[in-house]
Amino acid sequence: MRLIHFSHNRKEYWGILEEKNIRIIREEPSRGIKPVSKKIPVDCVKFLPPAKPTKIVLIGLNYKDHARELNMALPKEPLIFLKPSTSLIGHNDAITYPSSVRQLDYEAELAIVIKKEGKNIKPKDVRKYILGFTCLNDVTARDLQRRDGQWTRAKSFDTFCPLGPWLETGVSPKDLRIRSYLNGKLRQDSNTSEFIFPYDYLVSFISKIMTLNPGDVISTGTPSGIGAMERGDTIEIEIEGIAKLVNYIK
Ligand code: MG
């Protein structure tokens, strides 16, 4: 099932995407999926990020191919960091290139959206806490990341967290092709089977540190092939079985 968060005539809704139409649901999907009869054509809506997180938790290095590319040893435990909820944008929105930044990179990532509150979740129970999976672009001011040594400023500008276009609830995240395209040219092409830490381990690990709330986002790291974007570019993140997230740089 594809869960879509959108606005239509200035009102905000959640719905189920059925081919070219959206069937509206009554409440946020973490409270239960109760469809109503009203349908809206998907062409008439504005996509919103398919999550309202209290936090966005990301993983520093989680693909074996990316570790090889960087000539780095595989990490013994996940390195995690945060982005603020104010960095979120949806499908078809513009990423703003800050005037203080000299290198703005894309990072294609598979994101998890949490369904219900959880603390100290065991890996075998993780799936019950997940609402769905989607595409995330971990936009990064690489020059500021190098300069600051810690990552908050480099990762946190408004518009630095494109998410969407929707949540896929039924997919298994263990063997999915993940790609990014810059202006239509393939730049990253890997598979979630390259994960250093599996998704259930990551969610369990994070839940031992912080309580996970409905709508929280966990992003699972990027594969090899990251690179820079310029104003006017189009960046696309595509994950097999989920969708393609498209954004523009301005
Ligand atoms: Mg990243």
Tokens of 214: 């409905």
Confirm whether 2-47 and 56-249 share one CATH topology. Answer: no
Q: Whose CA is closest to 226, among 160, 179, 177, 176?
A: 179
* Residue 184: φ, ψ to 5°: 85, -10
How many A from CA of 48 to the centre of ligand 1? 21
How many A from CA of 162 to the centre of ligand 1? 12
Whole-angstrom Cα Rg for the chain = 17
How many A from CA of 23 to the centre of ligand 1? 33
How many A from CA of 58 to the centre of ligand 1? 6
How many A from CA of 214 to the centre of ligand 1? 22
How many A from CA of 47 to the centre of ligand 1? 23
How many A from CA of 156 to the centre of ligand 1? 12
What is the model's pTM? 0.97
- For the 56-249 domain, the top CATH level (class) is alpha beta
How many A from CA of 62 to the centre of ligand 1? 9
Amino acid letter, residue 99: S
How many A from CA of 68 to the centre of ligand 1? 16
How many A from CA of 220 to the centre of ligand 1? 8
How many A from CA of 137 to the centre of ligand 1? 8
How many A from CA of 250 to the centre of ligand 1? 21
Instruction: Return the domain boundaries, the chain.
Output: 2-47, 56-249
What is the spatial distance between Cα 194 and Cα 176, in angstroms, rounded to a whole number? 10
Residue pLDDT tens, the chain, 250 long = 999 999 999 999 999 999 999 999 988 898 888 888 789 999 999 999 999 999 999 999 999 999 998 898 999 999 999 999 999 999 999 999 999 999 999 999 999 999 999 999 999 999 999 999 999 999 999 999 999 989 999 999 999 999 999 999 999 999 999 999 999 999 999 999 999 999 999 999 999 999 999 999 999 999 999 999 999 999 999 999 999 999 999 9
Position 173 scores a pLDDT of 95
How many A from CA of 196 to the centre of ligand 1? 14
Contact 223, 216 (CB under 8 A): no
Q: For the structural domain made of 2-47, what CATH number should be given?
A: 2.30.30
How many A from CA of 41 to the centre of ligand 1? 33
How many A from CA of 81 to the centre of ligand 1? 9
